[in-house]
Amino acid sequence: MFKVGVVIFPGSNCDQETIKFLNTYEEFEVTTIWHKESNIPKLDMYVLPGGFSYGDYLRSGKLASLSPVMNDIEKYAKDGRKILGICNGFQILCERKILPGTLNRNDTLKFICREVELYDNHLKYITVPIAHGDGQFYCNDKDHFNFEVAWRYHPPIPNGSLHAIAGIYNNEGNVLGLMPHPERAFEEYHKSKDGYKILNTFLSR
């Protein structure tokens, strides 16, 4: 079995959707991990779901990045375990410096909730939803060498992200952070099932 842990913070609100999505993989054994836990078990993948951890106080993801569980997440990221951060999870990974860059307020200064089209480095196009107020990715020139672009927004860019970036991998390829929600693109009633393409691409690395 491929063992997956979904980390839950106060204010996470996409954890149940994420668990349901992951449970569609027959080979996955999915468990939950509370943010106050330490010395968490060594699993194959850890997922930081979307939501508004700690009500986005200070900055989106900042307080969650200081939770005890993040000590182990950081350690396992360095050990090569797969780490997936979705929306708020991406923000947490950036605040913890597991991934470079920051997620700033959308350039429209408005919360955006809609479908977007993404493409990867192989010009594979997919459709998935976004739902965020702080999704504008930015990094300095130095950090450009510390990640690989995973997905970009097809114009128009919804939030002003630098170079249309929607998601990034670390240089080792075992950590993925992205603002779009793959767990909202897999059911029959969803606009697409392209959430599988995001996760399968990550798992194949």
Average pLDDT rounded to a whole number, residues 140-167: 92
- Cβ atoms of residues 179 and 87 within 8 Å: yes
Q: How far is the CA of 185 from the CAs of 26, 76, 193, 199, in angstroms?
A: 18, 28, 5, 11
Q: Find the mean pLDDT for residues 59-78.
A: 97
Kindly report the pTM of this predicted structure: 0.96
Q: Which pLDDT band holds residue 142 (cuts at 50, 70, 90)?
A: confident
* Spatial distance between the Cα atoms of 175 and 82, rounded to a whole number of angstroms: 6
Q: Which amino acid is it at 110?
A: K
In this structure, the number of other CB atoms found within 10 A of the CB of residue 140 comes to 10
Phi, psi of 152 (to 5 degrees): -125, 155
pLDDT score, position 70: 98
What angle is formed at CA 186 by the lines to CA 180 and CA 187, rounded to 5 degrees?
Answer: 130
pLDDT at 87 over 90: yes
| CA 17 to each of CA 64, 146, 191, 195: distance values in angstroms, whole numbers, following the listed order | 20, 31, 16, 12
| Record: fold of 2-203 | Rossmann fold (3.40.50)
User: Is residue 160 pLDDT above 80, yes or no?
Assistant: yes
Mean pLDDT score, 132-145 = 90
Q: Tokens 């450009």: give the residue.
A: 144
| Residues labelled as active-site residues | 87, 181, 183
Confidence band, pLDDT 50/70/90 cuts, at residue 141: confident
